[in-house]
Amino acid sequence: MAQQHTMADEAARRALKEDLAKFNCRVHQPDDPPLFSRTPQSASQTVHWRWTDLAPLLDRLGKQLTLEPGGNRRTLRLHNPGLPYGTTHTFWASIQVILPGEIASNHRHTANAFRFIMKGNGATTTVNGERYAMNEGDLVLTPGMTWHDHEYHGKEPMIWLDVLDISLMKSMHATFFEPSEQLQQKVDAVPDSSWRRYGSGLMSPPGCAPAGANNPLLAYPREMAQTALQQAAGLEPDPFEDVVLEYRNPLNGGPVMRTMGMRLQMLRPHTHTRARRHTGSKLYYVVSGQGTTIVNGIPYEWNTGDFLTVQPWAWHEHLNRSNAQAVLFQVNDIPAMSALGYFFEEALAENGGHQKPL
Ligand code: GTQ
Ligand code: FE2
């Protein structure tokens, strides 16, 4: 009886299919994949890019690709083979190569972007009239729809990590891109005013800190970040990330961008963190040192300059078996996932069972 019922229902669904199509309607078909999965099933893969592979490729990009005014930047994109595009389902990470004397022309776009300087010193970026230095280890922001251009007058090629929330922007069908008539913007009379107001992180001028405002701070220099991380090393360690700090909006303590979060993390010698999994994606860049990240049971042995992206909802834990500190820079999409109510995390209990919620 029940089986007859099912067969009749399946036949009815098939019969409906054609009639409904005329009206741009559908019903679930017996051979359609299930609407939901019990837990996240991501096509995005865990991917490890080694510095030893990237370095010669970047060298080749620098020698063979030209930087055209008004055109694309000279970038090596970290592509996730499980996805049609992007490093993860929300962001793109690329390594930009800029040569002495070059200018990356002024433009703006809806995608939020930031740069973490990998190698070299002496470039500058101008963001809505404010000019900031780009030196190794610095983080500089280009929030969505701000005008930006970059300039470099050093001796050696310079490289930095660019991360943009392009996949998220595309899935939201909100792409705008505007090139500028001018190669570069005019720099303000006070070229770094938001740094002068908010850069200390401790204090800011009275009356200019409206609660909930967008992050006015555009530059997070290496020196201050490293000092903060060393200070944090005196705290009780985080069980999942060891010593970890988040770059913050000085006005409200929130993440520095609306869609992406950035962290600096230190794995002290001989540490082994607990395993955790969460929705959303992240990418690690190894600033210094070496270690291992175990993702769903597979060990990824990383070294200075490597990148690792972790598949959403994959168990992962970190090890540093060496005698030296390892420092990781991390970008994640937790702010976007949280804002939408899609952020979930789970810890692996000491006894191996799942413990939730965190
Ligand atoms: O430097 O403005 O990697 O617009 C991709 C798009 C960098 C940039 C990228 C961009 C930029
Ligand atoms: Fe850009």
Determine the pLDDT at residue 1.
56
Distance 60 CA to ligand 1 centre (A): 19
Number of other CB atoms surrounding residue 294 within 10 Å: 17
Distance 172 CA to ligand 2 centre (A): 18
Share of the chain above pLDDT 90, in %: 91
Q: Where are the domains of the chain?
A: 47-202+213-355
265-273 mean pLDDT:
98
pLDDT tens digits along 218-241: 999 999 999 999 999 999 999 999
By the 8 A CB rule, do 337 and 275 touch?
Answer: no
Mean pLDDT of the chain: 95
Distance 150 CA to ligand 1 centre (A): 10
d(CA 156, CA 152) in angstroms, rounded, equals 10
DSSP string, 273-310: PPPEEESS-EEEEEEE--EEEEETTEEEEE-TT-EEEE
Determine the pLDDT at residue 354.
62
Q: Whose CA is nearest to atom 1 of ligand 1?
A: 73
Number of other CB atoms surrounding residue 202 within 10 Å: 7
Substitution site in 68, 77, 92, 94 for ligand 1 pocket (most atoms within 8 Å of beta carbon): 94
Q: Which CATH number fits domain 47-202+213-355: 3.40.50.150, 2.30.38.10, 2.60.120.10, 1.10.10.1100?
A: 2.60.120.10
Substitution site in 95, 106, 162 for ligand 1 pocket (most atoms within 8 Å of beta carbon): 162
pLDDT at 211 over 70: no
pLDDT band at 358; cut points 50, 70, 90: low
Model pTM greater than 0.85?
yes
pLDDT at 350 over 80: no
pLDDT tens digits along 314-326: 999 999 999 999 9
d(CA 106, CA 160) in angstroms, rounded, equals 18
By the 8 A CB rule, do 260 and 163 touch?
Answer: yes
pLDDT tens digits along 145-196: 999 999 999 999 999 999 999 999 999 999 999 999 999 999 999 999 999 9
